[in-house]
């Protein structure tokens, strides 16, 4: 059985973690197949957006397979090679990645959710950082990302207790953008991905790189980076290009109203 399902339709790639009987735990085999799927997507110029979700409604992913960790050691928890680290595999993609969080996202699964550029959730979604309960320091970014996304105090509460965070509270705190009924999650994810895919793909890649490269810098240095990127990109945009896109925006607005 394939541990990762990859569907590519209308410029959108959907990656489904496919171990529902094990709450989509991130086994070595699943992580390898996820990397292969990301490599496939990276080499396909027709793909403009990615959706990541889990099979079933119980789990997005429960994180690393603890049985494997007990047998093979903790190397997977700190390995930074994208071939074995699913967060780095997703982060290597230069196109937008939407996390459609369909169930629990626990520990390494929480980290995988944080590796997505945009997160939406079903009402079944819950998030938990149980690193402290397991006694393993996170190695895929959670200790630094979570506080940046929801604030230091809230992140400390979640990480120091291992308590679950429900989908609506996660939305209220800014961790996810929207919460939908379970049956609406994937249609909403595909609609969002289709909207993103309607943008010029080369522009999206440049814009995503600017946003994330700037996020890693101080505000002052990020503004310098924006100016450099703006000068390099906008110098190649003609007045005719702007007018054509202005007309396209007007037409899109009419269709949305209709």
Domain boundaries, given as residue ranges, for the chain? 4-197, 217-257
pTM of the model: 0.92
Contact 131, 156 (CB under 8 A): no
Identify the architecture of domain 4-197 in CATH: Alpha-Beta Complex (3.90)
Q: How many CB atoms sit inside 10 A of residue 89's CB?
A: 25
248 C-beta neighbours (distance < 10 Å), count:
11
Instruction: Identify which of 101, 78, 84 has the alpha carbon closest to the alpha carbon of residue 24.
Output: 101
Reported as type and span, the H/E element at residue 121 is strand 118-122
Write out the chain's pLDDT in tens, 258 residues.
899 999 999 999 999 999 999 999 999 999 999 999 999 999 999 999 999 999 998 999 999 877 776 566 555 667 889 999 999 999 999 999 999 999 999 999 999 999 999 999 999 999 999 999 888 889 999 999 999 999 999 999 999 999 999 999 999 999 999 999 999 999 999 999 999 999 999 999 999 999 999 998 999 999 999 999 999 988 877 667 666 666 666 666 666 666
Q: Tokens standing for 106?
A: 């626990």
Each residue of 169-221: pLDDT tens digit? 999 999 999 999 999 999 999 999 999 999 999 999 999 999 999 998 999 99
Q: Starting at the earlier edge strand, list the strands of the sheet with 104-106.
A: 59-61, 104-106, 126-128, 165-166
């Amino acid at each position: 059985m394939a541990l990762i399902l990859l569907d590519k339709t209308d410029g959108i790639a959907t990656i489904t973690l496919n171990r529902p009987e094990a709450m989509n735990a991130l086994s070595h085999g699943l992580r390898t197949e996820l990397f292969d799927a990301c490599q496939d997507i990276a080499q396909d110029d027709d793909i403009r957006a990615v959706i990541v979700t889990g099979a079933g409604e119980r789990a997005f992913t429960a994180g690393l397979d603890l049985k494997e960790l007990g047998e093979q050691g903790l190397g997977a928890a700190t390995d930074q090679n994208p071939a074995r680290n699913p967060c780095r595999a997703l982060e290597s993609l230069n196109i937008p990645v939407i996390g459609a969080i369909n169930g629990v996202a626990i520990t390494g699964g929480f980290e995988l959710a944080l590796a997505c550029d945009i997160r939406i959730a079903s009402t079944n979604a819950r998030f938990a950082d149980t690193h402290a309960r397991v006694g393993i320091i996170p190695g895929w970014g959670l200790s630094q990302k979570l506080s940046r996304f929801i604030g230091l105090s809230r992140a400390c509460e979640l990480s120091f207790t291992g308590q679950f965070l429900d989908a609506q509270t996660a939305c209220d705190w800014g961790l996810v953008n929207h919460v939908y009924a379970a049956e609406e999650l994937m249609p909403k994810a595909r609609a969002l991905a289709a909207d993103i895919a309607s943008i010029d793909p080369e522009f999206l890649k440049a814009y995503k790189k600017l946003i994330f490269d700037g996020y890693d810098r101080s505000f002052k240095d990020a503004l310098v980076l924006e100016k450099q990127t703006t000068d390099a990109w906008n110098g190649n945009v003609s007045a005719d290009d702007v007018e054509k896109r202005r007309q396209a925006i007007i037409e899109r607005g009419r269709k949305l109203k209709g």
